[in-house]
């Protein structure tokens, strides 16, 4: 029972390996050689923004491509393409997303509101090469201006991967706003690649043996509000030193809440599978929340920014069991997958090399992937970024995840489902 979840993971991994081995390139083999294809992925992705897809999924449709002007040559230098409303080819048979993003994506311009309307399609974009903040040494504090005239302290907690803590990144009001928006939206039991967690929760399996015990929801632009999200995005762009366009094309905000006994054992927030496209750019709708979803695409979450929305009374720390581990330690930890004394955070939270206590308003930011030095784009997932939430002992724990997605170099012109115009 103790290794129940690990057995499932290993079986999945084996099946994936068997399917993929014949087509693997040497890069992929290398990735697996140092255990980078261990599958401890996160739960399913936010529901993509259907409206954005409607306007941008034109790769295989020459007619649509002409209509919306989204070709790779013009995409390079234009953030906004103005097109005639009548050319969009918007079909009434496609029901608009429940989020009003469909309206925002078609900003109507011009004086004549009854005919010849013009809409903006702004997903034409080239993802720029990745930046990576130099962490310096552990304990280093740097004051960074994340809003005009407002400085925040960025503290280095680890260098491999770089893990930063930013106290007071969110104000109390902002934390409350996120919690309230999540409550209004309703939370569901967190899922993990279609694993039947609800069944596990209803069974006799001890909570500690279940990989993830929490509730979650996704918050879109319409839930959080224009002004709130725009301000947050700007702050994130300055924090990550990434282009605001990349931030805006990332997944929605995920809110997670834990009650005592809740936790999330060690996992990677992203996946290393070069034989499939990035989920934020590929439509796997029909497979959402099923195990097939994991075969359809890979998460390409270059960075995680995790916000603590309240002070957990006791427990509920975020642990990084392999942060700053030496190559030898890393190899040793992966030697016997069934005896991973670091994976189960209900038992081994405090053995972790880094343990962060939840403090309201604090953000922690880390890199889930290395940067590919040859292309400057998304490289391998970094096993040292394994992390999770330790058992909450007392009180409640609310966090939010802001995953910053970025493609591999070859997909740098491919639009994101998640783009909404500010
Ligand atoms: C997550 C996660 C850690 C925590 O939600 O992906 O890693 O402290 N959470 O809750
Ligand atoms: Fe995570």
Range 223-243 average pLDDT: 97
Ligand 2 mean position, distance from CA 140 (Å)? 24
Ligand 2 mean position, distance from CA 290 (Å)? 19
Beta carbons of 42 and 388 less than 8 angstroms apart: no
Which range, of 95-104, 156-165, 321-330, 357-366, averages the lowest pLDDT? Answer: 95-104
Atom of ligand 1 nearest to the CA of 42: 6
Which range, of 55-64, 113-122, 277-286, 365-374, averages the lowest pLDDT? Answer: 55-64
Residue 149 scores a pLDDT above 90? yes
- Does this model's pTM top 0.85? no
In this prediction, residue 119 carries a pLDDT of 40
331: preceding bond cis by omega (within 30 degrees): no
Q: How far apart are CA 208 and CA 215, in angstroms?
A: 16
Over the stretch 158-213, which tens digit does the pLDDT of each residue have? 999 999 999 999 999 999 999 999 999 998 888 655 456 667 777 778 888 888 99
41: preceding bond cis by omega (within 30 degrees): no
- Is 401 a pocket residue for ligand 1 (Cβ < 6 Å)? yes
In this prediction, residue 137 carries a pLDDT of 98
Contacts of residue 251, defined as CB under 8 A and 6 or more positions apart, other chains included, come to 45, 46, 218, 280, 301, 403, 405, 418
For the CA of 391, the nearest ligand: 1
| Beta bridge pairs of residue 365 | 164, 305
Confidence of residue 355 (pLDDT cuts 50, 70, 90): very high
Residue 379 scores a pLDDT above 70? yes
For the CA of 401, the nearest ligand: 1
In this prediction, residue 417 carries a pLDDT of 87
In this prediction, residue 47 carries a pLDDT of 57
Atom of ligand 1 nearest to the CA of 387: 7
Ligand 2 mean position, distance from CA 389 (Å)? 8
Residue 241 scores a pLDDT above 60? yes
In this prediction, residue 46 carries a pLDDT of 59
Range 408-418 average pLDDT: 92
Which range, of 32-46, 239-253, 276-290, averages the lowest pLDDT? Answer: 32-46
In this prediction, residue 14 carries a pLDDT of 33
- Is 264 a pocket residue for ligand 1 (Cβ < 6 Å)? yes
Q: How far apart are CA 355 and CA 388, in angstroms?
A: 10
Over the stretch 269-314, which tens digit does the pLDDT of each residue have? 998 888 889 999 987 777 766 667 777 888 999 999 999 999 999 9
The chain-wide mean pLDDT, for the chain, equals 74
- Is 256 a pocket residue for ligand 1 (Cβ < 6 Å)? yes
- Is 387 a pocket residue for ligand 1 (Cβ < 6 Å)? yes
Range 381-391 average pLDDT: 97
Q: Please tell me what DSSP assigns to residue 399.
A: E
Which single residue is written with the structure tokens 């918007």? 90
| Most confident among 41-50, 322-331, 335-344 (mean pLDDT) | 322-331
In this prediction, residue 123 carries a pLDDT of 63
Contacts of residue 29, defined as CB under 8 A and 6 or more positions apart, other chains included, come to none
Atom of ligand 1 nearest to the CA of 267: 7
| Beta bridge pairs of residue 142 | 154
Which range, of 30-44, 244-258, 273-287, averages the lowest pLDDT? Answer: 30-44
Ligand 2 mean position, distance from CA 405 (Å)? 14
In this prediction, residue 206 carries a pLDDT of 86
Instruction: Let me know the angle formed at the C-alpha of 35 by 195 and 279, rounded to the nearest 5 degrees.
Output: 50
Q: How far apart are CA 281 and CA 53, in angstroms?
A: 9
Residue nearest to atom 1 of ligand 1 (CA): 388
For the CA of 359, the nearest ligand: 1
> What is the percentage of the chain residues whose pLDDT exceeds 90?
54
In this prediction, residue 69 carries a pLDDT of 23
Residue nearest to atom 4 of ligand 1 (CA): 389
């Amino acid at each position: 029972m103790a290794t129940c979840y690990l057995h499932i993971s290993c079986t999945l991994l084996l099946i994936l390996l068997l399917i993929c081995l014949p087509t693997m390139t040497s890069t992929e083999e290398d990735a697996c050689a140092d255990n980078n294809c261990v599958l401890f992925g996160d739960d399913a992705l936010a529901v993509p923004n259907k409206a954005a897809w409607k306007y941008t999924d034109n790769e295989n449709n020459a007619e649509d491509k002409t209509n919306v002007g989204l070709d790779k040559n013009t995409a390079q230098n234009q953030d906004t393409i103005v097109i005639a409303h009548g050319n969009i080819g918007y079909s009434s048979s496609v029901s608009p997303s429940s989020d009003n993003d469909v309206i925002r994506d078609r900003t109507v311009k011009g004086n004549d509101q009854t005919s010849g309307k013009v809409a903006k399609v702004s997903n034409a974009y080239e993802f720029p090469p990745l930046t990576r903040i130099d962490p310096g040494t552990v304990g280093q504090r740097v004051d960074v201006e994340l809003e005009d005239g407002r400085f925040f302290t960025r503290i280095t907690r680890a260098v491999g991967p770089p893990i930063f803590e930013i106290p007071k990144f969110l104000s109390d009001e902002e934390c409350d706003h996120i919690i309230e928006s999540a409550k209004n939206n309703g939370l569901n039991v967190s899922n993990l690649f279609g694993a039947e967690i609800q069944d596990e929760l209803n069974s006799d399996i001890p909570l500690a043996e279940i990989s993830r015990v929490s509730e979650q929801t996704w918050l879109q632009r319409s839930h959080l509000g224009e002004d709130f999200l725009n301000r947050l995005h700007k702050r994130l762009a300055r924090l990550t030193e990434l282009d605001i366009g990349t931030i805006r094309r990332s997944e929605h905000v995920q809110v997670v809440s834990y009650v005592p006994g809740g936790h999330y054992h060690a996992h990677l927030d992203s996946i290393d599978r070069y034989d499939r496209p990035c989920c934020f750019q590929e439509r796997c709708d029909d497979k959402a929340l099923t195990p097939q979803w994991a075969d359809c695409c890979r998460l390409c979450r270059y960075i995680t920014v995790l916000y603590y929305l309240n002070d957990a009374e006791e427990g509920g720390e975020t642990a990084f069991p392999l942060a700053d581990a030496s190559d030898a330690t890393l190899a040793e930890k992966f030697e016997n997958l069934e005896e991973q004394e670091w994976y189960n955070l209900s038992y081994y939270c405090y053995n972790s090399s880094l343990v962060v206590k939840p403090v309201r308003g604090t953000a922690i930011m880390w890199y889930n992937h290395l940067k590919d030095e040859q292309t400057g784009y998304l490289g391998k997932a970094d096993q040292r970024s394994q992390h999770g939430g330790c058992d909450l002992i007392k009180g409640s724990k609310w966090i939010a995840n802001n995953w910053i997605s970025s493609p591999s170099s070859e997909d740098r012109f491919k639009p994101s489902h998640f783009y909404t115009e500010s």
